[in-house]
């Protein structure tokens, strides 16, 4: 999703575009038209093949075509690859063949050259922008779908990360969301297990918010406030005088990516997992806020095993009652309380539920909540997680088709993304932690009214705009 910018973390910086080239496919009207045509052609090809299978009985190899679609979309700047990665965590939001292929799209893309950087900086900070920095790296530290990051040093000697948004990204995002709607529409005619209407709305809202760097600055300030008493979590600080709605300048945090710790002693890996858990769930259970993009580019580890949180474009604020619903569902599963489960799902926003649909939803819920159920030190999943997860997804899909399908509420999208994304991090670390005690340490004194007051006070203090 947002740029994974710490070169010092071990994130490989993609090769810079030749400075003489100045701009790439997104940078001119002709380039944007070519890009749109390329994405449209890929999606149109999918439409034709699905229609042929549905109406003419012409079978095609979906796995092969999914690979072709991935190849067609790979390398495009814009959000489609980010969307695909997110969808891969929602059971059967797309056919499995497509989810698996699209989830492999690389979030890193070749950065734009110095001519673009110079023009963007002039547009944001004025013609004398270079005089406001002691040093400014010409080559990007990293680049992703919506922008790229350059390391710099201010006149006061502060090392900073300057996050620059690519040109015309609002129109690119709008075009990609249109393609996504077409894909969803096709799949909806092909398979009724998941109604994707709310998924599209949620993804659209969050992606449009990510284009607003002033909003991201406010969300970053929110996390600094929320985590100020967490010594194991660090959040950068925004430099307002060097930031705009398309340029975000923040202090540079040194660290290493977590994949560099996969062979570390178990106590180190456990400490990292413990700190990651608190980095994500202290904001959620105490303030109703979630960092919706837990991938390896968005955090780093320090030598003392504390965590740097880096990117704050994809943040979701939940109603306090939604947080209570998450805890209620845990208690419902633990005590086999069917009425409480129904209440929890309805609190989340699921509608028109009957007992059969509840039973199907509980299959997925038990998979997600399972590590929290037993009061013991354990890995995040005791089973062969890849196979067990695939079997669970398959069973949920078949059962949803049987009972007529379900429309997940908008709030479900990022909550599910966070749970599954973090779980994959803990699996890669092979951490062995008492997840039950970590969880209960946050929820045992939960009070929905106190959360509401904390949330309201924090949002007012940092002036985070209301969510779309």
With respect to residue 233, please indicate whether it lies within any of the assigned structural domains.
no
Global pTM exceeds 0.85: no
Q: Are 389 and 262 in the same domain?
A: yes
- Tens digit of each residue's pLDDT (9 = 90 or more) over 412-425: 888 888 888 888 88
- Tens digit of each residue's pLDDT (9 = 90 or more) over 304-360: 999 999 889 989 999 999 999 999 999 999 999 999 999 999 999 999 899 999 999
Q: Are 280 and 351 in the same domain?
A: yes
User: Would you tell me the crossing angle of helices 355-373 and 435-443 to the nearest 10 degrees?
Assistant: 110
| Rounded CA separation 162/165 (Å) | 10
Q: Which of 186, 210, 234 is the last residue of a domain?
A: 210
With respect to residue 117, please indicate whether it lies within any of the assigned structural domains.
no
With respect to residue 235, please indicate whether it lies within any of the assigned structural domains.
no
What is the residue range of 63's domain? 25-106+168-210
Q: Which of 157, 192, 210 is the last residue of a domain?
A: 210
Q: Are 327 and 430 in the same domain?
A: yes
What's the total number of domains in the chain?
A: 2
Q: Are 268 and 202 in the same domain?
A: no
Alpha-helical (H) ranges within 227-376 are 266-287, 320-335, 338-348, 355-373
Contact by Cβ (8 Å): 212, 315:
no
Q: Cα angle vertex 309, ends 303, 312, to 5°? A: 165
With respect to residue 462, please indicate whether it lies within any of the assigned structural domains.
yes
User: Which pLDDT score is estimated for 2?
Assistant: 33
With respect to residue 144, please indicate whether it lies within any of the assigned structural domains.
no
As given in the structure block, the two tokens for residue 1 are 């999703």
Task: Give the residue from 108, 89, 279, 38 showing the smallest Cα distance to 202.
Answer: 89
CB within 8 A of 171, min separation 6: which ones?
32
User: Which pLDDT score is estimated for 235?
Assistant: 97
With respect to residue 386, please indicate whether it lies within any of the assigned structural domains.
yes
Q: Are 438 and 324 in the same domain?
A: yes
With respect to residue 159, please indicate whether it lies within any of the assigned structural domains.
no
User: Which pLDDT score is estimated for 23?
Assistant: 37
Contact by Cβ (8 Å): 317, 219:
no
Q: Are 188 and 50 in the same domain?
A: yes
Q: Are 292 and 420 in the same domain?
A: yes
User: Would you tell me the crossing angle of helices 355-373 and 320-335 to the nearest 10 degrees?
Assistant: 90
Q: Are 175 and 318 in the same domain?
A: no
CB within 8 A of 253, min separation 6: which ones?
6, 234, 236, 300, 308, 310
Q: Are 195 and 56 in the same domain?
A: yes
Q: Are 195 and 271 in the same domain?
A: no
Here the contacts of 454-461 (C-beta below 8 Å, separation 24 or greater) are 454/286, 454/287, 455/287, 455/288, 455/289, 455/317, 455/320, 458/222, 458/225, 458/226, 458/287, 459/222, 459/317, 461/225
| Rounded CA separation 320/453 (Å) | 9
Given the DSSP bridges, would you call strands 315-317 and 289-291 parallel, antiparallel or unpaired? Answer: antiparallel
With respect to residue 247, please indicate whether it lies within any of the assigned structural domains.
no
Residues of the chain below pLDDT 50: 1-30, 32-33, 55-56, 58, 106-108
Q: Are 182 and 280 in the same domain?
A: no
Distances (CA, A) of 139 to 50, 110, 257, 291, 333: 43, 11, 21, 29, 52
Q: Are 274 and 416 in the same domain?
A: yes
User: Which pLDDT score is estimated for 383?
Assistant: 60
Q: Which of 210, 241, 272 is the last residue of a domain?
A: 210
Element (H, E) at 198: helix 197-210
| Rounded CA separation 127/121 (Å) | 8
């Amino acid at each position: 999703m947002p740029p994974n910018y710490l070169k010092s973390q071990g994130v490989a910086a993609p090769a810079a575009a030749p400075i003489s080239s100045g701009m790439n496919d997104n940078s001119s009207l002709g380039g944007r038209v070519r890009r749109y045509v390329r994405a449209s052609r890929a999606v149109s090809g999918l439409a034709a093949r699905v229609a042929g299978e549905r109406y003419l009985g012409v079978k095609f190899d979906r796995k092969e075509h999914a690979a072709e679609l991935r190849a067609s979309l790979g390398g495009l700047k814009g959000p489609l690859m980010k969307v695909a990665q997110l969808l891969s965590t929602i059971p059967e939001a797309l056919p499995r063949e497509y989810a698996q292929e699209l989830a492999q799209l690389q979030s890193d893309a070749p950065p734009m050259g110095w001519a673009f950087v110079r023009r963007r900086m002039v547009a944001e900070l004025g013609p004398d922008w270079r005089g406001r920095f002691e040093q400014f790296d010409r080559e990007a530290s990293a680049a992703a779908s919506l922008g790229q990051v350059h390391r710099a040093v201010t006149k006061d000697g502060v090392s900073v990360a300057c996050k620059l948004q690519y040109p015309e990204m609002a129109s690119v995002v709008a075009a990609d969301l249109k393609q996504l709607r077409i894909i969803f529409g096709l799949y909806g005619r092909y398979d009724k297990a998941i109604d994707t209407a709310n998924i599209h709305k949620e993804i659209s809202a969050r992606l449009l918010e990510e284009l607003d760097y002033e909003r991201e600055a406010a969300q970053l300030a929110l996390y600094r406030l929320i985590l100020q008493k967490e010594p194991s979590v660090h959040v950068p600080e925004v430099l307002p005088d060097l930031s705009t709605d398309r340029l975000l300048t923040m202090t540079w945090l040194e660290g290493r990516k977590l994949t560099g710790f996969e062979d570390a002693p178990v106590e180190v890996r456990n400490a990292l997992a413990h700190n990651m858990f608190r980095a994500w769930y202290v904001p959620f259970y105490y303030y109703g806020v979630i960092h919706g993009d837990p991938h390896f580019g968005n955090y780093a580890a320090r030598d003392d095993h504390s965590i740097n949180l880096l990117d704050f474009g994809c943040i979701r604020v939940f109603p306090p009652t939604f947080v209570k619903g998450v805890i209620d569902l845990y208690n419902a599963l633990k005590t086999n309380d069917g009425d409480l489960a129904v209440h929890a799902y309805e609190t989340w926003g699921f509608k028109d539920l009957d007992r059969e649909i509840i039973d199907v939803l509980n299959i997925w819920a038990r998979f997600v909540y399972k590590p929290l159920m037993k009061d013991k030190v354990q890995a995040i999943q005791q089973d062969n997680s890849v196979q067990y997860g695939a079997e669970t997804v398959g069973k949920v899909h078949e059962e949803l088709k049987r009972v007529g399908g379900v429309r997940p509420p908008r709030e479900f999208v990022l909550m599910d993304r966070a749970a599954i994304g973090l779980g994959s991090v803990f699996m890669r670390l092979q951490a062995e932690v008492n997840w039950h005690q970590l969880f209960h340490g946050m929820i045992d004194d939960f009070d929905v009214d106190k959360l509401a007051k904390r949330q309201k006070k924090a949002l007012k203090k940092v002036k985070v705009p209301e969510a779309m």
